Structure formats: C-alpha cells, structure tokens
Chain A
Amino acid sequence: MKNSIIKPFWILLFFIFLIWERSAAGLNSLILPSIGESYQALKEIALSGILLESFIITLRRTLIAYGLAVILGIITALLLYRFKFLQRTFRPLITVIQATPPVVWVSLAVVWFGVADDLTPIFLIFIVSLPVIFVNIFQGLEDMNVELVEMAQAYSTPRYRILKEIYLPSLLPALVSALSIAFAFAWKSSVFAEFIASSSGIGYQLSRANSMMATDRLFAWTIVLILFMLFVEYYLLEKLKKHVSRWKND
C-alpha cells in the first residue's frame, strides 16, 4: 500500500501554503483570504456551532444515500452478473445514468421533490454513487477466478461455503475500491445538491458564504470538506484495505 500520506506530501503542502500566503499578501481577502483569515473563519464557524450542526446534517444525508447505493449497487451487480438477460436489458441503462450530468439530476430533483431539504441531496448522492458501486462490483465479479470455484466444486464444496469462502473474499478488494471511489462521489454530490437546493448542510453554508462574498468562510468550509475526505480515504478506508489484502505478499 503506497497510499498512505507520506513525507513528500507534507513538503508539497508546505509549498502550497507558502504560495497561498505569498499570493494572499498582495490581494484583497475577498479574492484570496490569507491562511490566518481562513483559520479565523474556521474558528468562528466552529465556535458558533454551525460547523458541527451542518457537518452532521451533510454526513447524515451522505451516509443514508451512500448506504442505499452500496446495498442496491451490490444487489444489482449480482443480479446482472447472474442473469444474462437482465444484463443485456439493464447494463446500458446504468451507462445512461452515469453519463447524465449531476446538474441535470439536481434540476430534475428540484422539479420532482420541490426544494426538499433532505430528499434532493439524498437523491443526487444515490443516483451518482449507484453506478460507481455497480461498475466496480460487476467488474470484480467478472474478474473473479472461476478456476477456484471449479476447484471447490471438484471437492464437493457446498454452495454456501463457495459463496462465503471464495466469492466474498475475492470480491473484497473490488468492494473496498468501490466504497472508496463512491464515497468521494457521494460527499461531493451531497455538497453540490445542498448548494443548489437545500437550506441546511455544508453545501448550503457554502452557498451563503458565496452570496455574502465571505471568501474566508468559503475557504473554511472547503477545508472542512477536504479534511474529512482525507480522514475517510487515508484512515478509515486504508485500514479496511490493509485488512482485506493482508494475505498479499508485497
């Protein structure tokens, strides 16, 4: 696993901060707030309680929709893998969903659900993450080593053991990668939907900061979004990845 944050990244980050600070010094904070100003804004939203409140709202929406997408994505992948006629029927539909820009989905959601605080973000997250989960799991199924299944059958292994001890472990890497990619999609879609059509959550706060020209706040919220994404990707998922590939010799 070369994925973990390593030293060179910290050096890069240092240079990014340096350039940021240098550029901000010569510019109006409306255009580019300095690190100090952004930090101040972050402190403000944290202390006022908006940070935690909005974060929890966005996280809740993301988890509900993402969870649904994960479950349905896996079920769809299994069904389409198992039944070729379903595959021929529905496979193109998934590509269609994938090809439709998120902004179209949000517009449709607003038309369908009105400015529904929860429903619009949840719908968007779901519709954007579902194909990602599906495609990864489906690929995992197609890449599965059928020779191992045949070996198990040659030794009269019952079906449920084949599922549990061959299908599941061989799908785990695909599942983890699906979870990881889809989470990034879900998190961003969530904020996007809130930005357009919601009156709560981080996305909504971003849109407020934007309309008030509070660029320092915009930066503060962005930092929150990025930090959380980094935490999920490099801490939670990294642990999971290590666990599922512990038998790999590298």
Chain B
Amino acid sequence: MTKEQIMLKLKNINKSFQDLTVLKNLDLEINQGEICCLLGPSGSGKTTLFRIAAGLEKADSGEITKNSDPRFAYVFQSPRLLPWKNAEENLIFVQKNYGLESEKSLRDLLFRLAKLENFKTAYPDELSGGMQQRLELIRAFAVKPDLVFLDEPFKSLDMKTRMNLRKLITVIQAETGITLFLITHDPEEALLLADRIYIMAAEKQGIIKEIKIEKAREKRKISDPELYQHLENIMDIFSDLVSDLEDAGDEIKRLF
C-alpha cells in the first residue's frame, strides 16, 4: 500500500439546489489509507459534498475519479437500520451484496469491538440510541470496504462513547489501512483523527482551507504546539465568519 495513491479525487464540482449554490468549483482529494476530515458549521455543504463523493447524489458538473473500483461503505448521521432485521441480520444484509455473508467470525469480531456481542439477535427497536449508532458503524466495516464515509457518526453521543468509538475506528483503520472520510463539526475531533482536514464554509460555497497533519495519530494531544496552532487557526477562520451583530445593538436595546 503506497501512501500517496489517490483513492478519490473530486475536481471542479458544482452543485446548487434551486437558487442556492452549495458547492462552487470545488476540488478535493483523499489518499488511500488516509483519514480525511470535512470540518465546517452546519449548512456549509459537508453532507452534500459527501453524498456527491459517495455517489448518492449527482453534481451539476465536475469530475470524480476513483482508484480502480473501490468498495464504499457509509455511516449515516442517524442510524439507518432495517427495523425488521435483528442486529446480525442487518450486517448480513449488506454483506450479501459482496458475497461476505459467510464471514461470521468477522461479524463476531465487530460485535465484540462495539461491545454488542450480547445483542446480536436484538432488533434495532430494542437497542438504545448509542447501541444503534455503534451497529450502524460496524455495519460499514462488515463489508470490508476500501473507503468508509462517516457523516458525523459520533454526533449526540456522550464523551466516553465518542472516545470509545474514535478508538474503535482508528484501531481498525491502523490494522487494515481502510480509508476514512469523516464529517465533523468538532475541530478537536478533526485534529485528533485526521491526516488531512478540509474546512468548509457556506460563505465560500466550498473548501476554504486544507490542513495536513503529519504527527502520528496515537501520539497526538490537543495541547501539542502543532495541533494547538492548527486549532487556533481554525478558530480564527470561524470567528471571521461569525456575522457582525454590532448594528443590531441599538435595536436590541430598544426592544428589550
């Protein structure tokens, strides 16, 4: 596995919904084996870009190049599990598409890693929100993917569960070299996980900055000077985007 091989490349992507331009002349690339983060506030087009990259949505124009025929997997923002299938059947459902349904030991391992080994026969309705999220996550890895799209997979989870799941995906990633493409709006999460961060802003209809982080993932701490510097830069970028409310001051005073 050469690190520099490109897994996915987007060139000159444009996308509008009616009159609203979401993405304008957007370029992006992800190398094989990399963890790439899309960072940006809500409404900055992260999910749209994601869906285009994953082939769930068509761009108005632009070019998408993939490395040979990679297998994609997708972790949705809120779990999309089949309610009439139990946990294990939900994994088998997607495995079947790739002839992997006989890989029971892989399923067992994933269940164990996600601490769901006692819930294999439970239906999604019987699982807590966090458990459903974990099931959604391991389903992606059950198909032995080349690239996993993760759309804010840790959103609305508590700190400890988040850390556990981050650990889980980084361990799998380190052992397998599966490329991860992750959406987050948490700068710290992006800095701790990513090899490459793309920052998006609605005001610019696309990517406004690309950050590459060389430091080994397992040695990273948010207090490292390098990461801290990046964090400050990111904060600066976002505070520039915070709308100026100064001229509203008089009105606020008047109306309260």
Give A contacts to B, CB under 8 Å. 147-148, 150-158, 161, 165-166, 169-170, 247-249
- The one of A150, A155, A247 in contact with B97, judged by C-beta atoms closer than 8 angstroms, is A155
Check A155 against B74 for contact (C-beta < 8 Å): yes
Q: What is the CA–CA distance of A157 and B93 in the complex, to the nearest angstrom?
A: 9
Check B143 against A150 for contact (C-beta < 8 Å): no
Check A147 against B76 for contact (C-beta < 8 Å): yes
Check B73 against A155 for contact (C-beta < 8 Å): yes
How close is A166's CB to chain B, nearest CB, in angstroms?
A: 7
- Interfacial residues of chain B within 124-143, with CB under 8 A of chain A in the complex: 125-126, 143
Check A249 against B126 for contact (C-beta < 8 Å): yes
Chain B interface bracket (under 10, 10 to 19, 20 to 34, 35 or more): 20 to 34
Chain A contact surface mostly? helix
Which of B1-9, B80-88, B162-170, B248-256 sits within the interface?
B80-88
How close is B100's CB to chain A, nearest CB, in angstroms?
A: 11
Check A154 against B82 for contact (C-beta < 8 Å): no
CB nearest to B86 among chain A residues: A247
- Interfacial residues of chain B within 62-110, with CB under 8 A of chain A in the complex: 72-74, 76, 80, 82-86, 93-94, 96-98
Instruction: Collect the chain A residues with CB atoms within 8 Å of residue B55's CB.
Output: 154
Check B123 against A247 for contact (C-beta < 8 Å): yes
- Given A247-B125, A249-B125, check contact A154 B97 (CB 8 Å): no
Q: What is the CA–CA distance of A169 and B143 in the complex, to the nearest angstrom?
A: 23
Task: Name 6 interchain pairs, CB-CB below 8 A, sorted by A.
Answer: A148-B82, A150-B56, A151-B80, A154-B73, A157-B94, A165-B85
Instruction: Collect the chain A residues with CB atoms within 8 Å of residue B125's CB.
Output: 247-249
A-B contact sample (8 more), CB < 8 A, given A151-B76, A247-B84: A150-B56, A154-B56, A155-B74, A157-B94, A161-B97, A247-B123, A248-B83, A248-B125
Instruction: Collect the chain A residues with CB atoms within 8 Å of residue B143's CB.
Output: 155
- Given A247-B123, A249-B125, A249-B126, check contact A157 B76 (CB 8 Å): no
Q: What is the CA–CA distance of A40 and B55 in the complex, to the nearest angstrom?
A: 72
